[in-house]
Structure 1
Amino acid sequence: MQVSSGAFPRYARNPGTGESHATATVLRPADQTVYHDASRPSAVILPTLA
């Protein structure tokens, strides 16, 4: 599992500014948050192969 804003070069990068990824000249970092407490439970559900 990967929690991220991108995986360049596998996927086109997201400049985080609203500009086109093809012409952006400014890149802005992004933060990711995964909540995992009693009031905000999280789960990852994956299919299994039989």
Structure 2
Amino acid sequence: MHHLLYIDPGSGSYLLQALVAAALGVAFFFKNIVLYVKMFFYRLFGRKNKKP
């Protein structure tokens, strides 16, 4: 059963690349959501300096 635990360097680097890409994808996804919510509230309660 121990012979099934081997991961060759190519598979290991591919796995690492996939994990890093997934983490960055999640980070950018939630960053966009936070920016969307901030801009929504800024437009709702933002500056309303209307000069006559």
Greater share of residues in helix? 2
TM-score (norm 2): 0.25
Larger RCO of the pair (alpha carbons < 8 Å, separation 6+): 1
TM-score (norm 1): 0.26
